[in-house]
Amino acid sequence: EDQVTQSPEALRLQEGESSSLNCSYTVSGLRGLFWYRQDPGKGPEFLFTLYSAGEEKEKERLKATLTKKESFLHITAPKPEDSATYLCAFSNAGGTSYGKLTFGQGTILTVHP
Amino acid sequence: DTAVSQTPKYLVTQMGNDKSIKCEQNLGHDTMYWYKQDSKKFLKIMFSYNNKELIINETVPNRFSPKSPDKAHLNLHINSLELGDSAVYFCASSQVPYAEAFFGQGTRLTVV
């Protein structure tokens, strides 16, 4: 069965303390792996799409990487404004997962000044 | 310009009532979705439309009925509301069914 699991559930960092969030997935025929950021009371905000193992994408302090079983969201020298819930999702070009994004449960990131 | 907009943002209603949530996207996308986010913040697909055609209908009670009058709009009508329907409902759209989706700001539904 296609599924995605994120870890840790919650992560507390000091400002400037780099770390990584993990997204483990099992899917037949991965079409895309997505990272989103969600702030309280808001809708998920799209960050990155990764299509194949070995691919990397960067945006400011965030870098997303993809292997055949996992994706990582690396946060370098985080700031308090990076505090949010980070969601991972995948899409499948065929089968029962076609036409939707399947989300993980998210990692709640808190960055203290 | 808001890319995906849904109304209302908040909806408080009594059990047994019927309510609708409207969604519009101005991104020119072919695919639109309704997602439900429960109290544990887990996002789960409810419906997906591609070019106005229903392509995903998850195990959702038939009290929930989506309607897509055109590619830019996807509305959600809910009959006979129950306490368990309280959640945040998100509309989203994507270029094609497997591409990244862009979300609206959500509708917080509270059934009392």
A62-91: average pLDDT: 97
**Other residues' Cβ atoms within 10 Å of the Cβ of residue A73:** 24
B56: chain A residues, CB-CB within 8 Å: 98-100
Is the pLDDT reported for residue A96 higher than 70?
no
- Give me the pLDDT at residue A24, please: 97
B103 Cα distance to chain centroid: 10
Residue with more model confidence, B19 or A96: B19
Kindly tell me if the per-residue pLDDT of A78 is higher than 80.
Answer: yes
pLDDT at A81: 97
Which residue in chain A is spatially nearest to B106 when comparing CA positions?
A: A43
| Coil/strand/helix, residue A80 | helix
Q: Which CATH architecture has domain B4-111?
A: Sandwich (2.60)
CA closest to B93 among chain A residues: A100
Determine contact, residues B109/B85, Cβ cutoff 8 Å.
Answer: yes
The CATH number of the domain where A94 resides is what?
A: 2.60.40.10
pLDDT above 70 covers what percent of chain A? 97
DSSP state of A45: E
Q: Tell me which residue has tokens 């129950």.
A: B82
Q: Tell if the CB–CB gap between B55 and A98 is shorter than 8 Å.
A: yes
The pLDDT-based confidence of A95 (bands split at 50, 70, 90) is: low
- Asked if the Cβ–Cβ distance from A105 to B42 is below 8 Å, we say yes
pLDDT at A98 over 90: no
Please determine, for residue A63, whether its predicted confidence score (pLDDT) is greater than 80.
yes
Determine the distance in angstroms separating the CA of B53 from the nearest CA of chain A, rounded to an integer: 11
Sequential DSSP letters for A60-77 = TTEEEEE-SSEEEEEE-S
Q: What's the pLDDT score for residue A97?
A: 66
Q: Structural domain of residue A47, as residue ranges? A: 3-112
Whether the pLDDT of residue A27 is over 90: the answer is: no
* Nearest-angstrom CA–CA distance, B99 and B101: 6
d(CA B111, CA B16): 9
Q: How many domains does chain A have?
A: 1
Interface of B with A (CB under 8 A): 4, 31, 33, 40-45, 48, 50, 55-56, 58, 90, 92, 97-106
Q: How far is B64 from chain A (nearest CA, A)?
A: 18
State the nearest Cα–Cα gap between A14 and chain B, in angstroms.
24
Residues B68, B66: Cα–Cα separation, whole Å: 7
Name residue A99's amino acid: G
Which of A78, A10, A45 is closest to B43 using CA atoms?
Answer: A45
According to the model, what pLDDT value does residue A33 have? Answer: 96
Q: Does residue A24 contact residue A77 with C-beta atoms inside 8 Å?
A: no
E strand or H helix at B13: strand B10-13
Cβ-contact B6, B88 below 8 angstroms: no
Spans of chain B below 50 pLDDT: none
Which of A39, A43, A45, A17 lies closest to A85, judged by CA?
Answer: A39
